[in-house]
Amino acid sequence: MSYKRILTIQDISCVGQCSLTEALPILSACGLETAILPSAVLSNHTAGFTGFTFRDLTDDMPDIEKQWEKENLKFEAVYTGYLGSTKQIGFVQSIMESSTVPGAMRIVDPAMADGGKLYPIFDMEYVNAMKPLVFGADITLPNITEACFLTGMEYKEEYDEAYIDELLQKMADAGAKTIVLTGVGFKPGKTGVMVYENGEKKYYEHDKIAKGCHGTGDVYASAFVGALMHGKDAFEAAKIAADYTVLCIENTQDDPDHWYGVKFEPVLGDLIEMLK
């Protein structure tokens, strides 16, 4: 494997395992030189804590981009996670053009909705602004809710394979290339990931753990990107990411005091083994 430089753009929660505090160690463990562009800094994430501090770094992005251009710094892949505003989306698109090598991989996790609803900070203006970024990417990793918002398709809690097929086709018709659709389950107690690429779909099923953990979506996306850039194809990377995420959740189940995140660090060695 060649030594590759990747840029990941998302927020930092100083405490609480999510976003960059997961992406940086996971991508580094996968053998990648990992550069970061923080979109915001929070004292802690917003789920379960009684408050948080927040500093928006949107206005720093153009100056960082100019400095990278001055230094001729280029990246072989860009992976985006949670972005806090429509303005940031525009800056990310610019950076993808100015600070990448020819043929660089663009990977987008929409990170804006779940359970049939947008996150409270977002609205349809944000969804519409995300569409060019998502549909212009080489790979996108939406959950079912995000895919529904991006395509205008009705969200359903209960569905069959035909519903998922239609959702994938609508994503592809809108311009999506490789789609990694997460949280797809057809049986009780099971969930999985559906990968759609070049008109072909592949499904990987695994156990659904009833008690979830905060930050598992970021673990999944980061492990997927790490495996992909390590040389795995999209489906193999999707499987590795799913297995690693399940392992992280299992590793957290016996610790009731660790309610604010997923204990992914102790099993990073297992991810490294999965890549071999």
Do residues 30 and 226 touch, judged by C-beta distance below 8 A? yes
Each residue's pLDDT tens digit, 190-230: 999 999 999 999 999 998 887 778 889 999 999 999 999 99
Each residue's pLDDT tens digit, 101-114: 999 999 999 999 99
Each residue's pLDDT tens digit, 222-261: 999 999 999 999 999 999 999 999 999 999 998 888 888 9
Q: Which two tokens stand for residue 83?
A: 């972005």
Do residues 158 and 174 touch, judged by C-beta distance below 8 A? no
Amino acid letter for position 29: A
CA–CA distance, 38 with 60 (Å, rounded to integer)? 9
pTM: 0.96
- Report in angstroms the alpha-carbon separations of 93 from 130, 143, 147, 165, 199: 10, 22, 20, 29, 26
- To the question of domain 5-266 being in CATH 3.40.50.720, the answer is no
E strand or H helix at 26: helix 20-29
Q: Which two tokens stand for residue 90?
A: 């525009």
CA–CA distance, 95 with 93 (Å, rounded to integer)? 6
Question: In the prediction, which pLDDT does 184 show?
Answer: 97
Each residue's pLDDT tens digit, 132-159: 999 999 999 999 999 999 999 999 999 9
Alpha helices in 41-194 (DSSP H): 61-71, 86-98, 124-135, 144-151, 161-173
Do residues 76 and 5 touch, judged by C-beta distance below 8 A? yes
